Amino acid sequence: MSALICGSMAFDTIMVFSGQFKNEILPDKVHILNVSFLVPKLRREFGGTAGNIAYNLNLLGGDALPMATIGHDFGPYAAWLEQHGVQQQFLKTVPDAYTAQAYITTDLDDNQITAFHPGAMSFAHTQSIVKKTDKGPVKIGTVSPDGRDGMLLHATQFADAGIPFIFDPGQGLPMFTGDELKDFINKASYVAVNDYESEIIMSRTGWTLKQIAERVDALIVTSGGKGSHIFAKSKVHEIPCAAAHSLADPTGCGDAYRAGLLYGLLRGLDWETTGRVASLIGAIKIERPGPQNHTFTMEQFRARFKKEFRYDLL
């Protein structure tokens, strides 16, 4: 059984400014802003929601199928995916576009200035979901941050095909009205958000968490270091935050967590265990910089799971 992961593939170029933005920007001159930052540290990461979730689900041994639109510059990312055994048959190249990419400059106070170019992501709506692959039927899907039209289309296609999916709006939330968010929720089987995103959804829809949870099989709300809550069948499961050995970089932790959810759903695990799998892989991710630089074997993961939660992951 496969998980069809609809979302973005992107390059993240991350630069570190060895000063503070506040010392370089004059508040009374922002109308003629013209600044330049020397950035001695730079790294380029492979990212995007579909890529990150698929990478993590692949580590867990799941059949991850990322579906996204990519640009003519995707070659290095394709080589990375091939190296790590992530399938690419549902990645569609848009020849005249660049792959989506973010340029992020961070100062010593952890403030960020980001420029994002959607590129090929804007053509996500040219992809249609599939119900079956050469390995069997698609058991579950995700609608994660992507082109606006693509997210709307894929939610409808999943619903029409009878394929349960996780609505994972993430940074795509600002693109949708309250009525559109209600429609996503009514079509989805699961909704996964962080605590800030849950507040936005409640504000735009006028629905409480309880009302949202009543419309889906499960509502998952993460709260960073405070753990997460899974609202399912009138019960709230409190999921502890797994201990991390270090706190290197939170980028991609939410995507890792969602891969853990998919793993549990594909295997039919209970919510207590599914949430703990998601929590642990999020902790493993935060120990390394970038969204796809961590690795483990399932033997190592099960050993750490037992040590952390005091029971076996079967």
In the structure, what pLDDT confidence band is assigned to residue 112 with cuts at 50, 70 and 90?
Answer: confident
Residue 117 lies in a domain: no
Helix (H, G, I), strand (E, B) or coil at 151: helix
In the structure, what pLDDT confidence band is assigned to residue 134 with cuts at 50, 70 and 90?
Answer: confident
What pLDDT score does 69 carry? 98
Residue 29 lies in a domain: no
Residue 39 lies in a domain: no
What pLDDT score does 135 carry? 81
Residue 145 lies in a domain: yes
Calpha distance 70→121 (Å, rounded):
7
Q: What is the DSSP letter of 204?
A: H
Residue 217 lies in a domain: yes
Calpha distance 242→47 (Å, rounded):
23
- What does the pLDDT look like over 153-186, one tens digit per residue? 999 999 999 999 999 999 999 999 999 999 999 9
List beta partners, residue 238. Answer: 229
Residue 233 lies in a domain: yes
> To 5 degrees, how large is the angle CA 60–CA 244–CA 238?
75
pTM across the whole model: 0.95
Per the structure, the count of domains in the chain is 1
Q: Exposed, middle or buried: residue 299 (CB in 10 Å: 0-12, 13-18, 19+)?
A: exposed
CATH number for the domain harbouring residue 246: 3.40.1190.20
List beta partners, residue 274. Answer: none
Measured in residues, the chain has a length of 314
- What does the pLDDT look like over 215-232, one tens digit per residue? 999 999 999 999 999 999
Range of the structural domain that residue 252 is part of: 2-8+52-96+122-309
- Is the CB of residue 141 less than 8 Å from the CB of residue 51? no
Residues with Cβ within 8 Å of 308's Cβ and at least 6 positions away in sequence, in order, are 242, 243, 276, 280
In the structure, what pLDDT confidence band is assigned to residue 26 with cuts at 50, 70 and 90?
Answer: confident
Residues with Cβ within 8 Å of 183's Cβ and at least 6 positions away in sequence, in order, are 155
Residue 241 lies in a domain: yes
Residue 136 lies in a domain: yes
Structure tokens at 78: 């394709």
The residue-averaged pLDDT of 16-28 equals: 91
HSE of 241, CA atoms in CB hemisphere, 13 A:
15
- What does the pLDDT look like over 75-95, one tens digit per residue? 999 999 999 999 999 999 999
- Mean pLDDT of the residues in the chain: 96
Number of neighbours of residue 237 by Cβ within 10 angstroms = 19
152 — phi, psi (to 5°)?
Answer: -65, -45
- On the question of pLDDT at 198 being above 80, the answer is yes
- Is the CB of residue 87 less than 8 Å from the CB of residue 65? yes
Calpha distance 117→122 (Å, rounded):
10
- What does the pLDDT look like over 276-297, one tens digit per residue? 999 999 999 999 999 999 999 9
